[in-house]
A and B are shown apart, each in its own frame.
Chain A
């Protein structure tokens, strides 16, 4: 039971880091970013590539530092080439354009890293004994890093100048603009931050799952289920939903098989939709 609990927490933390960027992009720009999973993928591949050069532990640290920059770089290119031209368009237009960008990235990954799934070994071997159950040390470490990163993000979001500007922009764009906030610049910066966090999350996930060029598709679906469950654009809702999804995932995987996890999560999403159309956090949908 302890391992189900720990896996739930681990996935909850990783999914929070993954889905935050997607939720922020929608909250700030009304952009439905179908390429968001690709930031996560580049994080996983960063670990794989670092693993080819360095020893496992060093590679993991290098990837943790480098991946956010890779994710941020892709986000900057995406903003300059695509997003800038569709800021004022409706949500479905942004969805389609970002889907196009996602297809290009997936094919690019396929050219760079090949189409076969690749895995990254645990950077820390061994297990920790918790209440009589052996639990992998790496997973405990990943929970620790993930929690620190999440707290770091919320400190940034609630305390830093950029974070506060972002909150003002989400609340009321025109008033924020009238108060002298460069909403365009703020929006862009937050989009890049969201991409960096997703890539960071991808590195943490690399030892748990296998990286493949199209794995982003699975994770974009997962993050959308989280964001819908939490309420589109709501940060609190995203965090709560991430943990709900993480626990559903870990419980289903133990009871049945991880194959059914997606179905169970989607079932939960449908129930939430029927009962609380605005999501857990109850935003006006």
Chain B
């Protein structure tokens, strides 16, 4: 018991043994948690809450098609946001995030097929799978100092390998045609009370809060002390090391978290699309995730949502009218964004709506 915390002393001594330690810990770290929460800018959170609430109203005014379109936007946004954690905050670009997304997608396809429909369990399993996979995948790349380029290239190679492997093992992946997913996920406690989500709309009502919570968590991670260390590694790895942080450990954990969330996004994707095929691993999706995050603004998390909506919605519309043109637009967007708008549109929006 620390003498400089008399309040803690008197209060915690009244508690049963094991709780005393816990209370003491909470008291000593309270400052950090407090500053972390108060440091959260209120405006982005307010906007996020408002958008989340509006999204929940969508099914009451829109049809099935729009609802599934919005589901896709949310799922891909989550993928882009998970990428933003390592790219925007830590400066590590992954060109293979589709690998995590695809593995999550296949995991949930298998579980749903085999009757393990509990969505919380599927997502937890997906997180673990993605987190472990991420560590195994990027560990060799951390040995090199030019992590930026090496990591981007290594992850790109993984993307190709997973696609080739999935096509090769068609017994498990369904080959070119992919696996059709039958069965809807359910929520609740398995064996006690479960609710099956057996329509696109019901699924959507669950996807919105899940994606919202994960996005807010990612945003908070970025603001936390841990997120600050990630940013310091991005800005100057040598100095971060000199100050006493182990950059490799932070890079590894950040990548692991990001891979876990990307895997969750994939696990949510399969029930929406009802189909998963090896093409999910290809460069296309990895590249798209980068573009979504880039357009929104690196290191903003919520920007990924704006970026995804601004690209995905027009894409489905235009591709329906003139197929084959969209790839030119995507290519041009990469070039124009990198050259003229490297920080994305969030800083521009902040500038436009500044209220001093």
Contact = CB atoms under 8 A, between A and B. Distances in A.
Interface in A246-285: 259, 262-263, 266, 269-270, 273-274, 277-278, 284-285
Contact of A259 (B93, B168, B334): B168
A217 B164 contact: no
A259 B328 contact: no
Nearest to A217: B283
Interface string B323-339: 01001101111110111
Contacts of A81: 335
A224 B152 CA distance: 11
Say whether chain B's binding surface is mostly helix, strand, loop, or mixed. Answer: helix
A106 B324 CA distance: 11
Interface in B320-356: 324, 327-328, 330-335, 337-339, 342
B150 A228 contact: yes
Interface in B278-332: 283, 287, 290, 294, 324, 327-328, 330-332
B157 A266 contact: yes
Interface string B155-167: 0110011001100
On chain A, which size bracket covers the interface? 35 or more
Of the listed residues B146, B154, B342, the one surrounded by the most CB atoms of chain A closer than 10 A to its CB is B146
Nearest to B327: A107
A106 B328 CA distance: 9
Contact of B334 (A96, A224, A263, A278): A96
A93 B141 CA distance: 19
Contact of A100 (B143, B152, B324, B334): B334
Nearest to B158: A266
Nearest to A95: B152
A103 B160 contact: no
A92 interface: yes
Contacts of A181: none
Contact of A224 (B153, B330, B332): B153
A85 to B, nearest CB: 5
B324 A110 contact: yes
B283 A277 contact: no
A111 B289 CA distance: 25
- Shortest beta-carbon contacts, A-B, top 3: A100-B334, A103-B331, A104-B331
Interface of A: 32, 81-82, 85-86, 89-93, 95-97, 99-104, 106-107, 110-111, 217-218, 221, 224-225, 228, 232, 259, 262-263, 266, 269-270, 273-274, 277-278, 284-285
Interface of B: 93, 140-141, 143-146, 148-150, 152-154, 156-157, 160-161, 164-165, 168, 283, 287, 290, 294, 324, 327-328, 330-335, 337-339, 342
Given A86-B339, A96-B294, 8 more contacts: A91-B149, A97-B334, A104-B328, A228-B150, A228-B154, A232-B149, A262-B160, A273-B140
